Amino acid sequence: MRIAVIGAGTIGLSWTKLFAEHGHDVRVSDPRPDLAEVLREFDPARVRAAADVAEAVRDADVVQENGPENLAFKKDLFAALVEQAPSHALLLSSSSAIPSSEFAPEDGSRVLIGHPFNPPHVVPLVEVVPGERTSEDSIRRAVEFYRSLGRVPVVERKEVPGFVGNRLQAALQREAVSLVQQGVVTPDELDTVMVNSLGLRWAAVGPFLGSHLGGGPGGYRHLTEHIGSSMHAMRVGEPDTSPEATEKVVQAVERAYGDKSYAELARERDRKQIAILSVTGEQK
C-alpha cells in the first residue's frame, strides 16, 4: 500500500516505522527543516520525504495525520485532504482529544479517528472513532488496515473528547499529581507503586475483569456489595493547576528522572513493553 504520513513528530515517525516494517511505501510530509535528516534511519526504498501535503497524498491508499492538536489546523488540513487524496483513500487522524466530527468536511465519509498510544509501533491499541459522517465501509476498512499491522483496533460507539484511553489516563494522572502535591509520595515512588500493582494487573486484565476477579467466586457483584460503599466514600484529590504548583511537580519529576536522557528512558520503556507483550500475546 501507499501510505501518507502527515506530521513527522514522535507519533508520526513511530507510525512510519510500523508502516515500513510491514512493507508499505510511505511518503512523509512535515515543514520541519530537518525532515530529510530524521528519515535517514529508514529504508529509502520504502520511506521518502514529500515536498508538501499534496505530493504526499497524491497516490495514497491511506493517510495518517499527526498534526497539532488544533481544531482550525485540522479543519483546513482535512478539507485539503478530501480534495487532494484519491477518492478511495482512508483519511485517518491520530487526534488525541478532538473528535473528527468537529473537523471533517461535509464530504467526510472517509474521515475518522485512528488514535494510537505512544509509541504506535510498540503499543497495540488503536482507538477507531467514527465521526457523524463516517461511512460503515470506512470503519470496516480502518479496522482491517490496523489489524493487518498487528494492532488491536477498538471501535468506539460514541464520540467524546479524549476518547477512552486518554480520559482514563487523565483521571489517573490528576490523582497522581494530587498525591505528589500532598506530599504522600514522590513521582518515582508513585510510579513504583503503579508498576508493581495496578500496572502489573492491568497488563494482564483490565479494570472490570480485575474487579470481577477481586470479588472472588461472587465476582463483580460481590465486590460492589461488600467493598463498593467504602470505595465510593473515598474522595480523590483535586490537583492544584496553578503555574507555581505545576512547576513544583515538573521539578520533582525532573529530579526523579533527569539523570537519564529521553532516548535512554524511551528505549527502556519500549524494551519492557515489548517483553510484556511477548508474554501476554495481546495481538488480537
Residue 194 forms beta bridges with which residues?
Answer: none
55 neighbors 4 (Cβ within 8 angstroms): no
For the CA atoms of 97, 102, 107, 108, the dihedral, rounded to the nearest 10 degrees, stands at: 20
The Cα 59–Cα 50 span in angstroms is 12
Candidate list 65, 106, 127, 247, residue with the active-site label: 127
Within 13 A of 89's CA, how many CA atoms are on the CB side? 26
118 neighbors 10 (Cβ within 8 angstroms): yes
C-alpha cell at 102: 468537529
The Cα 150–Cα 136 span in angstroms is 22
Whether 127 sits among the annotated catalytic residues: the reply is yes
- What are the strands of the beta sheet with 152-155, ordered from one edge? 47-49, 25-29, 2-6, 62-65, 90-93, 111-116, 125-130, 152-155
Residue 152 forms beta bridges with which residues?
Answer: 125
User: Which residues, including other chains, have CB under 8 Å from residue 152's CB and lie 6 or more apart?
Assistant: 124, 125, 126, 146, 282, 283, 284
Range list of β-strands (E), the chain: 2-6, 25-29, 47-49, 62-65, 90-93, 111-116, 125-130, 152-155
The Cα 159–Cα 132 span in angstroms is 9
CA distances for 130 relative to 62, 95, 113, 123, 228, angstroms: 16, 12, 6, 21, 34
166 neighbors 97 (Cβ within 8 angstroms): yes
| Residues with a known catalytic role | 127
